[in-house]
Structure 1
Amino acid sequence: MFEGHDPYLVALSVAIAILGGYTGFGLAARIRGTPDASHRLLLAGAAGFLAVGIWTMHFVGMLAAPLPAGTVYLVLPTIVSFLICALVVGISLFFVSIGEPSLLRVVCSAVLLGLGIASMHYVGMHGLSGPFAMEHDVSMVALSVVIAIAAAYGGLRAFLARRGGVQLILSAIAFGIAVSGMHYTAMMGMHLVPPAGESHHHIDGLSASPQILSLVVALLCFVIAAGFLLSLVPDPRRKAAAKSAAVAASVAEADALQADIPATEAAVASAGMRLRPTPLGGLGQPPRAAPAPRLPVESADGTHFIDTADVRSVRADAHYTKVHDGTRERMCPWSISEAEAQLDPSLFLRVHRSHIVAIPHVTLVRKEGDGAVIELDGPSPHRVPVSRAKIAEVKARLGLVRRHA
């Protein structure tokens, strides 16, 4: 059944799966560590783009197949196949985006997602109606399910791992090829045979011609391409924040030169840091312990250590904390007070009773309600609330407050 496929449509189906995977994983990578409202929105967007990519790839592949004349697509099974795909993708992403996912949870989510992809394929296949009967090779069915589960596991591991742009592209390519491989493996095991004892074929239910399906698929291809292109557009807020920081540093340096402030003090002032006077003779103040160069974080395979230079924020979570490294949150066995005592105060600031942030990684600060909110950079930028009592100190540390002698 694989012979006779249109090579251009086959290539298009693979490209659609890759673009859908890139856009979906790009959104999914931002789920962990975001506020609840953004969490739900990103989860829905990631599940939607992945489901549309997988489903569209399937039907582009069906249009590439040499089906007999008079073949139509039953509307109900076709819609049900998409709903199955969207549901299992959403559930799988949800289970691996809450808390610190264990290996067992990731494997179970991958099995669910793989079975959902395979179910979507075979439900969509049996949406075909024409002067034929459909048979499947059991060994090819089993192989296609294994490929679907492997593709799902690789995709879930892709967005759980710390990944940059190049790694995300490679993961999307691998996922797109794997999903396409599952489809065409299943197609190789499908055989269309003449119906037994029937001279005329009757269509039960609402149906659509291949031409109508082509229009629907073309529209969804446009949606996926638009989402992919939008994901490549840089966030203008980051540029504006970087420009503001550069301007603030230049102003502080100019003020320092006019006041004949030493270069070291000017650099500290440009960063908004506070210069704390040392008591006379250094008496009455115990020496502070050296800041910890690394923070312990827990994962399914043990305790890891990350450099404080990679830490964006620390969030209190009961007697423990969650450390965000710009990509995702991981649990730290330290309390929020212990983390504050261990981190370098010249780089970190407690902006809320439950949040500590790395000042050098701040890209946006904005008034919100009685307090404020700041955004921290990284592959998955995230926002942290600032209490009203800390707004002035945050602005001073960011060089947004002009100080006069």
Structure 2
Amino acid sequence: MFAGHNPYLVALSVAIAVLGGYTGFGLAARVRGASGARRRLLLAGAAGFLAVGIWTMHFIGVMAAPIPADATYLVLPTIVSFLICALVVGVSLFFVSVGEPSDGRVTASALLMGGGIVSMHYVGIHGLAGSFNIEHEHAMVVLAALIAVGAAYGGLRIFLARHVGRRLALSAVAFGLAVSGMHYTAMFGMHFRSAPELAHAAGGLVASPQVLALVVSLLCFVLAAGFLLFLVPEPRRREAPDMATADDGELPMSATDMLVAGAFATSNGHPLRPGQRVAAAPLGGLGQPRPVPASRMPVEGADGIHFIDVADVRGVRADAHYTLVHDGTRERMSPWSISEAETQLDPDLFLRVHRSHIVAIPHVSLVRKEGDGAVVELDGPAPHRVPVSRVKIAELKARLGLAGRKAHPPTGREY
């Protein structure tokens, strides 16, 4: 049964599953950083592309199988199979996109999605009509269900991790192989038994394999178009210049810098030449009181915004116009931008070591040179590492009391 599959259609079904996973989870990765109507559109688009990818892969796999020549497709079960897939995928993504999902909620969503994918498969299979009966091996049904739940759990973890670039591509390949593996495992345990008495027993609207092939071809085109559109980069919003975003050591001049420069020029009696800059005075300079650092940081929870003690914060990572806060155990989304976090956090305890990263100096447990920059490890139950840009190495070493120190002779590296 399994050996008689068309290898080209099998390869196409796997490719379609991968494309659907890449586009769907790529859109889903943007859901948690969006709000309002855009959030709903992204969630609907992610669920739609995942459902279309899974469902199209399924029916390409059915067409690849050596099914009886007189087989036709009942329209109602075929449509219902797609609706099941779209519903469970959409609901599962919604459950884990609200607030900070717990492991229990992710597991429950994976069970729902996996069960829905398996249901879609068997409802679609029993939409086949002809002079035959379909039988299934129970062991293969159970194994297919386990693979579907595993694929769903991995897919939801991809969604929560918000993979991009190469990691998203690798995750999509793994997801496509898992979903395809579920389908072909179930097909391996399926057998047709001749039943001539059922030749004209099919009731309701039916579609020929040619009609289904046209529908599947159209959906393949939709998936390919969505994949290509997803690869088009989004226009980047213009943001206020940020003192710590430049890795070349040149600091952009903000409105505050201009005011400070004007005061400096006036106090010294020398006007600035065009393009000339002066060092920006630290906050609290020029007679200004130093702002009081925040003692708590807001993070998103399942039921709203929570606040965590800044003493528990190990690092802050930029994520679009929001940030991800690591508390030593996990990352949680914060409505603060990376620039706002740098402004609000105590500069005596925190240092922006990269345009996308802020670290808590007291929690640095390891630092080592890597390429032109460096890497630091932050302590906690789940230690994690953060890159340090080249222009921030000297400041970081000074803050850690390492200025002027060299490495042991065997390594030849600093620190």
> What's the secondary structure of 2:2's corresponding residue?
coil
Change (3 A) 1:344 1:227: farther
Q: How far 1:202 sits from its partner (Å)?
A: 2.7
Does the aligned pair in 2 maintain the 1:129–1:203 contact within 8 Å? Answer: yes
Identity %: 57
Say yes or no: does 1:265 pair with 2:273. no
Secondary structure of 2:333 counterpart:
strand
Query: Which AA in structure 2 matches 1:210?
Result: P
The change in CA–CA distance for 1:241 and 1:278 in structure 2 (over 3 A counts) is closer
Is 2:242 the counterpart of 1:229?
no
Equivalent AA in structure 2 for residue 307 of structure 1: G
- TM-score in terms of structure 2 length: 0.66
Instruction: Measure, in 2, the Cα distance between the counterparts of 1:10 and 1:116.
Output: 22
Query: Corresponding residue for 2:40?
Result: 40
1:114-144 per-position Cα deviation (integer Å, ceiling 9, x unaligned): 0000000000000001111100000000000
Matched residue, 1:352: none
Unaligned regions of 5+ residues in structure 2, if any? 266-270, 303-307, 326-330, 357-415
C-alpha separation between the residues in 2 aligned to 1:110 and 1:149? 6
Give the counterpart letter for 1:186 in structure 2.
A
SS of the equivalent of 2:32 reads coil
- Tell me, yes or no, if the aligned pair for 2:316 and 2:324 is still in contact at 8 Å: no
**Aligned-residue offset at 1:259:** 2.4
Letter in 2 for 1:178: A
Task: Evaluate the alpha carbon distance shift between residue 124 and residue 158 of structure 1 in structure 2; reply closer, same or farther with a 3 A threshold.
Answer: same
How far 1:163 sits from its partner (Å)? 2.4
* Compared CA separation, residues 338 and 198, structure 1 to 2 (3 A): closer
Letter in 2 for 1:342: L
Aligned to 1:139: 139
The structure showing larger relative contact order (alpha-carbon pairs under 8 Å, at least 6 residues apart) is 1
Closer, same or farther in 2 for the Cα pair 1:209/1:91, shift >3 Å? same
Provide structure 1 residue ranges, at least 5 long, that are not aligned to the other structure. Answer: 315-322, 349-359, 362-405
How has the CA–CA distance of structure 1 residues 191 and 288 changed in structure 2, closer, same or farther, with 3 Å as cutoff? same
Higher helix share: 1
Task: Indicate the residue corresponding to 1:9 in structure 2.
Answer: 9
Asked if the contact 1:117/1:148 (under 8 Å) is kept, the reply is yes
Per the alignment, residue 67 of structure 2 pairs with: 67
C-alpha distance after superposition, 1:117-175 (max 9, x if no partner): 00000000000011111000000000000000000000000110152311111111110
How do 1:204-219 residues align onto structure 2 when only pairs under 5 Å count?
Answer: 204-219=203-218
For residues 46 and 15 of structure 2, what CA distance do their matches in structure 1 show?
18
- The answer (yes or no) to whether the contact 1:132–1:194 under 8 Å persists in 2 is yes
- C-alpha spacing 1:306/1:28, structure 2 compared with 1 (3 Å): farther
Q: CA deviation at 1:307?
A: 2.8
Report the Cα distance in structure 2 between the residues aligned to 1:67 and 1:175, rounded to whole angstroms: 26
| 2:125 is aligned with 1:125 | yes
8 Å Cα contact 1:100/1:331 also seen in 2: no
Aligned AA (2:154) = G
Number of matched residues?
321
The residue number in structure 1 matching 2:409 is none
Looking at structure 2, the residues matched to 74 and 94 of structure 1 have their Cα atoms a distance apart, in angstroms, of 31
- SS of 1:43's equivalent in the other structure is helix
Rounded to whole Å, the distance in 1 between the matches of 2:120 and 2:317 is 45
Give me the whole-angstrom Cα distance separating, in 2, the residues matched to 1:70 and 1:311: 54
Q: TM-score, normalised by structure 1?
A: 0.68
Separation (CA, whole Å) in 1 of partners of 2:198 and 2:44? 47
Asked if the contact 2:32–2:39 (Cα under 8 Å) also holds between the matched residues in 1, the reply is yes
| Cα displacement string for residues 350-393 of structure 1 (whole angstroms, at most 9, x for unaligned residues) | xxxxxxxxxx78xxxxxxxxxxxxxxxxxxxxxxxxxxxxxxxx
User: What RMSD over aligned residues (CA atoms) do the two structures have, in Å?
Assistant: 4.2
